[in-house]
């Protein structure tokens, strides 16, 4: 149950709906309604932050400790004076004094942010990159895995030789397709045979898939999980190495190195695309929330009297905002 009177709740909903529509009016063009909403947002946000700063920082950490505490904590005069020094930017001739406080703020912010960035980005990515490709509990080499590994190395070596000797482009498209298919096929078979088939025989796996024999289900599931972990670790390793090499300009990117750099570009585009999609998804989610608010909390519960008063207020606000611009344009 709302702690406010019904009329106050209704007024708040109508004001929120009006400001929401005013902001969305910018989709048509820049107009006085959008400017009004923009100024209200900036003004209210600034006032709210000032109140928060006073209640959470200045009052308890400075005023109380200096004037209402026994003995007074005179050490708080240092941050208090540095805070006042910020306002010297508005005094011509001594505005340089504010740079001292700004230097402390920027230095403190960089010092606080640096460990967070190192821990959250650098060390975390290094840990993921250094993760072993193979979990030894679910990896072993047998005859099939060695056979597929040798074939994979042969196809990879052929590709590297052809690219390095500038003969790859001379091959027909069909022969190049066979080479790439062999690389993908035998590399995949090597990982599958060394991780999944090392724990279960080929007959056990296909027996589970086609005959419904679930004797080794748990082992198969763990082997598949180990295979996916290996795949993810391999993707991370290749991505880190190729992206770092893309920004390594001491060596000319040509022949094989050009392919490595292009692989780094692909990983970067995947990251930028995912980041942009995530951002768009977040914005669309916010838009959906506002539209649901307009429909469920504004349009549906509103009565005829509410619409009558609301439309009258809209006309008055429109006249106040639009008349000065009309008069200004007529004078010009």
Residue 140: CA atoms inside 13 Å, Cβ hemisphere, count? 10
| C-alpha span between 321 and 74 (Å, rounded) | 52
3-state secondary structure of 143: helix
Q: Which of 53, 62, 20 is nearest to 38 (CA)?
A: 20
Polymer length of the chain:
332
Q: Can you give the pLDDT at residue 1?
A: 57
Q: Can you give the pLDDT at residue 229?
A: 77
Phi/psi of residue 107, nearest 5 degrees? -65, -40
Q: Can you give the pLDDT at residue 189?
A: 83
Q: Can you give the pLDDT at residue 92?
A: 85
Q: Can you give the pLDDT at residue 143?
A: 76
Q: Can you give the pLDDT at residue 193?
A: 77
| C-alpha span between 291 and 102 (Å, rounded) | 42
Q: Can you give the pLDDT at residue 47?
A: 95
Mean pLDDT by runs of 10 across the 332 residues of the chain is 77 91 88 91 94 92 88 88 90 89 92 86 76 68 81 86 75 81 86 68 52 58 74 84 86 79 91 93 92 91 88 86 74 66
| C-alpha span between 188 and 87 (Å, rounded) | 65
**Residue ranges of domains in the chain:** 136-261, 302-332
Tokens of 34: 């959008």
| C-alpha span between 54 and 114 (Å, rounded) | 28
Q: Can you give the pLDDT at residue 207?
A: 53
């Amino acid at each position: 149950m709302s702690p406010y009177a019904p009329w106050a709740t209704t007024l708040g909903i109508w004001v929120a709906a009006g400001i929401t529509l005013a902001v969305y009016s910018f989709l048509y063009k820049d107009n006085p309604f959008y400017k009004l909403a923009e100024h209200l947002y900036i003004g209210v946000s600034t006032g709210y932050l000032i109140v928060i700063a006073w209640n959470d920082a200045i009052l308890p950490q400075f005023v109380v400790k200096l004037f209402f505490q026994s003995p007074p904590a005179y050490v708080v005069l240092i941050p208090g004076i540095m805070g006042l020094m910020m306002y010297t930017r508005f005094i011509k001739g001594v505005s340089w004094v504010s740079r001292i406080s700004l230097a402390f703020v920027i230095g403190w912010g960089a010092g606080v942010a640096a460990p967070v960035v190192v821990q959250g980005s650098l060390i975390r990515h290094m840990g993921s990159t250094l993760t072993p490709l193979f979990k030894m509990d679910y990896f072993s080499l047998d005859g099939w895995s060695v056979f597929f590994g040798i074939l994979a190395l042969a196809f990879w070596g052929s590709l590297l030789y052809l690219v390095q000797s500038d003969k790859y482009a001379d091959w027909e498209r069909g022969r190049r397709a066979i080479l790439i298919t062999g690389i993908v096929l035998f590399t995949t078979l090597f990982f599958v045979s060394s991780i999944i088939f090392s724990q279960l025989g080929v007959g056990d796996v296909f027996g589970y898939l086609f005959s419904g024999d679930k004797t080794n289900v748990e082992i198969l599931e763990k082997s598949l999980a180990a295979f996916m972990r290996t795949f993810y670790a391999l993707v991370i390793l290749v991505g880190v190495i190729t992206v770092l090499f893309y920004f390594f300009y001491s060596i000319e990117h040509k022949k094989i190195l050009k392919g490595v750099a292009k692989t780094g570009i692909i990983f970067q585009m995947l990251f930028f695309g995912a980041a942009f999609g995530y951002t768009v998804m977040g914005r669309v989610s916010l838009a959906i929330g506002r539209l649901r608010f307009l429909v469920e909390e504004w349009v549906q519960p509103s009565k005829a009297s509410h619409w009558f008063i609301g439309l009258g207020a809209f006309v008055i606000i429109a006249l106040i905002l639009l008349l000065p611009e009309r008069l200004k344009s007529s004078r010009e």
